[in-house]
Structure 1
Amino acid sequence: MVRLYTEELNIGYGERLIVKDLSVEIPDKKITTIIGSNGCGKSTLLKAITRIIPNQAGTVVLDGVNISKESTKILARKMAILPQTPESASGLTVGELVSYGRFPYQKGFGRLTQKDYDVIDWALEVTGTKEFKFRPVDALSGGQRQRVWIAMALAQETEIIFLDEPTTYLDMAHQLEVLELLQKLNVEQGRTIVMVLHDLNQAARFADYIIALKDGEVVKAGDCEEVITHEVLKDVFHIDAVIGRDQRTNKPMCSTYNLLKGDSTPNEKDSDPVYPAVSVNY
């Protein structure tokens, strides 16, 4: 049974339609990655699924209920989202920031209970950030801050976590640190992870299911063997990719690529060149 899916979803800003008649299913207790060129609708889709922005038509269904009819607190107990560039109030400590994840469970004057404190400590422990509990968030490195934000999402005790480009601005070591943590949460705790990634090889390495978007529509959805192919990448990114094999995982990887010139399909000739961020050093 699929818990989360969309039906003929239309999302836009003003009169500009970004996502068109999109119907997708999010596999439960798996890692799903959304890939595509800049402006194709990846982040917009995440925001609509998590009800940060409204959809113009269609529905998002979670556990058989249209999320537009669900209360905010109940929805926040089911799904958490880490935006692309999260910002916290200056001066917050790590513990204070993570405590915000307990908002959906607070009553009355919003005082934290012993249960809340236990969950906060657990989230810090799982993400390896407990030693930073009393440090200002601003004093941490990029990788440390990202783990703290994930801890806040975990403190919500949701079974579904959305992340919009969680590796942006991080060096290679910190990117792996964050992705391996998410993989651990998925494998050991059965969390459903949905994230936007630009790095195709990271998507192939860590995702169970990949959704490739182009102009707000699904070009291909499936496992990495189905999506990380020469033809799909040609269509989505307008590149001539050489697909090899990761020596450690045996999954497909983009070993090199060229921008397509002169042999574009009719719909591609007038489009701007797109250079996907592809890392091959794993």
Structure 2
Amino acid sequence: MFKFNNLSLQIGGNEILRHMTGEIPEGSITALIGPNGSGKSSLLSLLCGLTLPTEGEILLNEKSLNKIKRSIIAKQIALLPQSNPVPTTLTVSDLVTFGRHPHRPWYKKVAKEDKQVIDWSMNEAGVTAYAERLLTDLSGGELQRAWLAMVLAQDTNILMLDEPTSWLDIAHQVSLLKIVRRLNKQYNKTIVWVLHDLNQARQFSDRAILINNGEIITQGDVNDVINAENITRVYQTSVKMHSLGNRDILWPEEQL
């Protein structure tokens, strides 16, 4: 689906990304991981077409991304950013309806087809029960699911999520991760997400791209990328893999 070759990005004279080459297979869940400031969100922005690379090329289904019209990209790629403003007068239903804008002119009323997609999106994100509540009345977890519903209403095959679990408690983190995994398995959505929790990335993703200092260190099957050796080296923190029930988890070895 996505192939990118020799991507570099400079902003204000600073080299943010250097010579990145890789791919995002169709129907996969790919985690972008790496230390803070490594370039994960910058790569996501390039893949969405929001930022143009200084060098290199991105292909989406064998077509150069920078030659595809923004209106067409909006029907293929939906992005959930790290943070969003919270309008004080909008309900959840109002917010989700905005996701239909790429499919209809702003001056047209919501059609029957739009309503069906909106209802589906709210149901999948688990927000139907509070569809008429104001956004300002929601908890952090409820609000994040409302934003996810809006992204789903865009009705794209590709979802890009930038740190979707940040600031959520563990219950809402797991809930959101399960929703995204179900969307991948049931509807074959291609997912690219930035995650900081390496164990969650390992559990809920198929592939991973490990980034450090603006360069791709390694990429491939999530279990091959997120292992003790790679994480110890890149994060400069000694970690080991431990068995917990039927799952392996990474845990730091530093003694307090």
What is the TM-score normalised by the length of structure 1?
A: 0.87
Q: How big is the shift at 1:108? A: 6.6
In structure 1, the residue matched to 2:250 is 254
Distance 1:48 1:108 in 2: 27
Identity of aligned residues (%): 35
- 1:7-86 pair list within 5 angstroms: 7-86=5-84
Once superposed, what is the RMSD of the aligned Cα atoms?
A: 1.4
Q: Do the aligned partners of residues 146 and 23 (structure 1) sit closer, same or farther apart at CA in structure 2, a change above 3 Å counting?
A: same
Which of 128, 147, 152 is equivalent to 1:149? 147
Structure 1: which amino acid aligns with 2:182?
K
Aligned residues: 255
Contact 2:239 2:251 in 1 (8 A): yes
In structure 2, the residue matched to 1:235 is 233
Q: How big is the shift at 1:135? A: 0.8
3-state DSSP of counterpart to 2:52: coil
Distance 1:172 1:41 in 2: 26
- 1:1-282 pair list within 5 angstroms: 3-107=1-105, 109-248=107-246, 250=247, 252-258=248-254
Gaps of 5+ in 2: none
C-alpha distance after superposition, 1:82-126 (max 9, x if no partner): 000122422111011101111111137233211111110110111
Relative CO higher for 1 or 2, CA cutoff 8 Å, sep ≥ 6? Answer: 2
Contact 1:32 1:209 in 2 (8 A): yes
Q: How big is the shift at 1:225? A: 2.2
Distance 1:183 1:202 in 2: 12
Distance 2:61 2:110 in 1: 28
